[in-house]
């Protein structure tokens, strides 16, 4: 009950990459970089285990950015001549690569870190990849000429890697779709279809992460324009509840998402954001426990997984570590407070 997990990314140590950045430059190159990525992955596995996180991830230590980390392995993309593009409906500008030909995977994408993590932890392991809609929103296109066609082409590549990750022993494959909170009509028209294509044939647990973005200024400014009640989830959750995706990872603590919207995810596992990644204040276990308690009115305990609101990549490393501890301690407290001990157990025994 209340198994904890994280949205995905964790801060990179200063010896691996620049700190506090979404697109950090690597500190070293070549073979030294491969060793450094490996060391950082092992370090964060250990930190997650020590904190008491139940379903661990590689912390995305081997990729520079959650979208481009995948794109770097795809043929048909020009990384040399990036163009400036407004992304997430022009919320902010990013320098993005350009699709210039048919897309094909050059090689495996996350094999090294997935196999490494699998060999070094007995915990359930999650690997994340960008979702098709979010990829399409983070790249320019000069070849396919059609957003949906391009998304489906990426979905096929994601599926190829996802099936291989499953064979590597990965337990949960998560697709990150922050764009789902921006293009709600497209989610219903083709976004979920693209996710189904990306996850086709998988027997492991599948998850989609939908948040209001990392704690960067552009996102914080955007959130200020969303009013007192954030209802984006209301538009997409009913369709997601009908989808074949098993889990939905969402933002909750310190957000203006009405918690009753969680009832729209009937039958799904809810990865409840109980850790704020946009604030350096470390949550107390009581705070975490209270958010779990509120969600429990709308989500059965067996479907509730305390999680972070989003990735922690741009955060301070020490603060991220403390937040992992708060996550696990808060879930432990919730197990005590809301667990089926006491009265209910007594009643059963009485019969």
Q: Return residues touching Zn ion (CB under 5 A).
A: 211, 310
Q: What are phi and psi of 298, to 5 degrees?
A: -120, -15
The CB-of-342 to Zn ion minimum distance in angstroms stands at: 36
- Nearer CB in complex with Zn ion: 204/310: 310
Minimum distance from residue 329 beta carbon to Zn ion (Å) = 23
> Closest by alpha carbon to 194, among 233, 43, 183?
183
List the Cα angle 315/48/316 in 5-degree steps.
Answer: 15
In terms of CB distance, is 165 or 208 closer to Zn ion?
208
Is the CB of 36 or the CB of 59 nearer to Zn ion? 59
Other Cβ atoms closer than 10 A to 163:
17
Q: Least distance from C-beta 189 to Zn ion, angstroms?
A: 22
Cα distance between residue 94 and residue 333, in whole Å: 41
Element of type H or E holding 273: strand 269-275
The distance of closest approach from Cβ of residue 255 to Zn ion in the complex, given in angstroms and rounded to an integer, is 12
Q: At what angle do helices 111-120 and 30-51 cross, to 10 degrees?
A: 40
Question: What's the CA angle centered on 251, arms 250 and 252, to 5 degrees?
Answer: 120
Buried b (16+ CB within 10 A) or exposed e, 107-144: eebbebbbebbbeebebbbbbbbbbbbbbbbbbbbebb
CB of 249 to Zn ion, least distance (A): 8
Q: Which residue, 6 or 211, has its beta carbon nearer to Zn ion?
A: 211
Q: Which is nearer to Zn ion, 24 or 178 (CB)?
A: 178
Q: Please, what is the minimum distance in Å from the beta carbon of residue 213 to Zn ion? A: 6
* CA–CA distance, 339 with 320 (Å, rounded to integer): 27
Closest CB to Zn ion among 144 and 305?
Answer: 305
Which residue, 210, 56, 202, 187, is CA-closest to 130? 210
């Amino acid at each position: 009950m209340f198994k904890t997990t994280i949205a995905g990314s964790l801060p990179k140590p200063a010896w691996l990459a620049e700190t506090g950045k979404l697109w950090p430059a690597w500190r070293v190159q070549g073979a030294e970089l491969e060793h450094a990525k490996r060391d950082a992955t092992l370090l964060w596995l250990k930190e997650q285990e020590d904190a008491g996180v139940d379903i661990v991830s590689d912390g995305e230590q081997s990729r520079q950015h959650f979208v481009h980390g995948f794109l770097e392995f795809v043929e048909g993309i020009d990384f040399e001549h990036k163009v400036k593009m407004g992304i997430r409906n022009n919320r902010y500008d990013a320098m993005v690569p350009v699709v210039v030909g048919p897309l094909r995977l050059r090689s495996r994408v996350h094999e090294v870190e997935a196999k490494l993590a699998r060999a070094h932890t007995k915990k359930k392991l999650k690997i994340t990849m960008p979702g098709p809609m979010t990829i399409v929103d983070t790249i320019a296109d000069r070849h396919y000429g059609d957003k949906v066609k391009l998304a489906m082409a990426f979905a096929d590549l994601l599926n190829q890697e996802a099936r291989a990750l499953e064979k590597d022993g990965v337990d949960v494959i998560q697709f990150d779709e922050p764009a789902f909170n921006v293009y709600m009509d497209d989610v219903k028209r083709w976004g979920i279809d693209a996710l189904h294509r990306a996850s086709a044939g998988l027997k492991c647990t599948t998850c989609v992460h939908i948040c209001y973005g990392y704690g960067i200024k552009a996102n914080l400014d955007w959130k200020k324009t969303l009013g007192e009640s954030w209802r984006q989830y209301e538009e997409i959750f009913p369709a997601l509840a009908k989808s074949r995706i098993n889990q939905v990872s969402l933002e909750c603590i310190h957000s203006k998402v009405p918690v009753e919207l969680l009832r729209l995810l009937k039958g799904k596992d809810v990865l409840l954001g109980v850790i704020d990644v946009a604030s350096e204040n470390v949550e107390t276990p009581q705070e975490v426990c209270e958010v779990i308690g509120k969600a429990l009115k709308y989500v059965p305990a067996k479907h509730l997984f305390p999680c972070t609101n989003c990735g922690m990549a741009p955060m301070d490393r020490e603060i991220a570590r403390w937040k992992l501890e708060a996550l696990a301690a808060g879930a432990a407290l919730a197990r005590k407070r809301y667990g089926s001990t006491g009265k209910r157990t007594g009643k059963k025994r009485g019969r």
